[in-house]
Amino acid sequence: MQQCLEYICREFEKVKDYLHAPTPAKELIINNLFANFMDCFSEYPFEKKRYPKEFLHSANLYNAGDVVMLKRFEDIGMRYLLLSDFYDYVKITHLYHKV
């Protein structure tokens, strides 16, 4: 697992309760993690083979400037849910181990 994705997981643990206790500080973290997630998937193409096509599809369309995908991820809740799904996936598959 790439360092950038490990960093996203570590930092996501700080905002896992966002839906129940949102704050501006947590929103900032989520926005930064989301940007890092999209950058990481475009920067490391070989890493993409390890993850479900849904993550790849979202990242590819978003990074390509797809209007529908850009609109979808304007919503902080959708950004959070993508990060949450990714975090859950890597925990379940043991690609990430909490430090």
* Domains of the chain by residue range: 3-92
Span 57-94, pLDDT tens digits: 888 899 999 999 999 999 999 999 999 999 999 899 88
The whole model's pTM is what? 0.88
Residue 24 has, within 13 A of its CA and on its CB side, a CA count of 0
Residues 95, 82: Cα–Cα separation, whole Å: 17
Span 30-65, pLDDT tens digits: 999 999 999 887 776 655 567 888 888 888 899 999
Task: Judge whether 81 and 3 are in contact, CB under 8 Å.
Answer: no
Closest among 41, 36, 38, 30 to 79, alpha carbons compared: 30
**Amino acid making up residue 77:** G
What is the per-residue pLDDT for 1? 58
